Amino acid sequence: MAATSSPGYVGNLSSDQEAKLRQIWSIILTLNDIPQPEFQDVTLENEEKRPRSIHRRSSSLTKTVSNTTNSNLPKDLDQTLLGLGINGSELKTVRDCLNQASIDEIRRSLLSTAKQDHPDSLLLRFIRARKWDVSKAFAMMLEALVWRVKEQHVDGMIVSNSELRALKEEQDKSNPAKAKAGSTFLAQMRMGKCYVHGTDRAGRPIGIVKARLHNPKAQSEEVIKRYILHIIESARLVLVPPVESVEYAPVKFLIDCFQANYPESLGVMLIHNAPWIFSGIWKIIKGWMDPVIVSKVDFTYTAADLEKHIAPEQLVKELGGKDQYEYKFIEPVEGENEKMADTVTRDALLSEREKIGEDLLKATAEWIKVAKEDDRDKIAAVKERRNDTIEQMRSNYWELDPYVRGRGHLDREGVIGVGGKISFYPTAESKIQATETKAVAVKYIASTQARVVDAQV
């Protein structure tokens, strides 16, 4: 990971960027009925003033959405969003989302999505993805949270649906459909279609995807989506489209994941040794993609090309580097998820997390309040207390993790260590420790990732 944060990231925000961050937190506080200062106190001082246009727009938009008012929505939410200049379609998106999921579900989804990540980092990804337009970022975030909890059921169907469960499904011949789903899911893990190993020159974990191993007919669309989300949730955004064949359904799903539901998580995508036919495919694919993501794609053909991004010591030998690592899937073992059966401890830790989440919202409201005051010492003290709460949330996640997440290959390989420590070159001792523990915490990789797609035919 880089020694210093890039501009626009936690630890390196301009005053305007920090104000934008407070704005989106202000909306979240309003959503959760947390008392806070008047909205005007957290707007940007140097932002262009538009009182007349906002007034006219607010009147018009309020009439537009009045017929779909949900009595469960906080009364001040509309005005907070309208004050930010939200347009009609974005406001409709917000209302649609809040009609699909309750505010409690949204709050729990936000806590779950954050995992051990700094919550400001999570929100900033949406803000950067929407070019610092806070109302657009909030609408995008809300859609992503509803997508997780209502459409894909990420926590219930993906995170807890472990590799060990897939192995048991594969072995249970009494249910042929489940056996096939489990078998084809694990087949992708075993062949090493996608794996995470090493870091690039910017310190970002490298995800290697062997597109030539993808056979569209070898698994159902449901299984490939399960595999994609399993990889994303296990290694936090590592997979890229299998581009050697014109199989657009999973590609569209991946692009939607990257752009809408896991924004600002791609550092660079290196497409290596792409065949000539890919040029036509690429013209279609990039039309679905945000120009910012397209700009992060680089085509490479030699080891020297790759080494512009990845040091030779971190580049695996199959791509012409010096790293002798070879991927080999480590099979799940009985008992590795035994803590997931302890629902009493799980529920206690989840309740603790809810309480920490409430404390964070209150601490954030205090931060927003003091930010308008010209008292650096007071602001620093409030920020420190808030950071302490965020650290409690991170610590809580490591305790909770083995009770809600099935172990994966990276756990068994020793890459993910106890307490979330990451080592792409684990010692024999750390591998033994990971095996004996049977329930180790997954490290959320906060930095965006580099990905290499080996597109050889």
* CA 264 vs CA 282, 296, 393: distances in Å: 21, 11, 22
Amino acid identity, position 83: G
Question: Which domains are seen in the chain, by residue range?
Answer: 15-154 (no CATH), 158-331+449-454 (3.40.525.10), 338-437 (no CATH)
For 216-250, how does the pLDDT look when each residue is reduced to its tens digit (9 = 90+)?
Answer: 889 998 898 888 888 877 766 333 222 223 344 44
For 272-307, how does the pLDDT look when each residue is reduced to its tens digit (9 = 90+)?
Answer: 877 665 666 676 677 767 777 778 788 888 999 999
Question: In angstroms, how far apart are the furthest CA atoms of the chain?
Answer: 69
Which H or E run contains 253?
A: helix 248-256
For 392-406, how does the pLDDT look when each residue is reduced to its tens digit (9 = 90+)?
Answer: 998 898 899 899 989
Rounded Cα gap, residues 222 and 236, in angstroms: 20
The predicted model gives 128-139 an average pLDDT of 93
Beta bridge partners of 208: 195, 452
Q: What is the pLDDT of residue 275?
A: 67
For 101-116, how does the pLDDT look when each residue is reduced to its tens digit (9 = 90+)?
Answer: 998 999 889 988 888 7
Rounded Cα gap, residues 332 and 51, in angstroms: 60
Give yes or no for residue 442 having a pLDDT over 50: no
Amino acid identity, position 281: I
Q: What is the mean pLDDT of the chain?
A: 78
Q: What is the pLDDT of residue 82?
A: 83
| Cα–Cα nearest to 269, from 200, 167, 362 | 200
CB neighbour class for 54 (10 Å; exposed up to 12, middle 13-18, buried from 19): middle
Give yes or no for residue 433 having a pLDDT over 60: no
Contacts of 441 (CB under 8 A, 6+ apart): 116, 397, 398, 401, 402, 416, 418, 419, 420
Entry pTM: 0.72
| Cα–Cα nearest to 332, from 454, 240, 234 | 234
Which H or E run contains 197?
A: strand 194-199
Give Cα 449 distance to the centre of its chain. Answer: 11
Q: Which of 165-174, 408-417, 424-433 has the lowest mean pLDDT?
A: 424-433
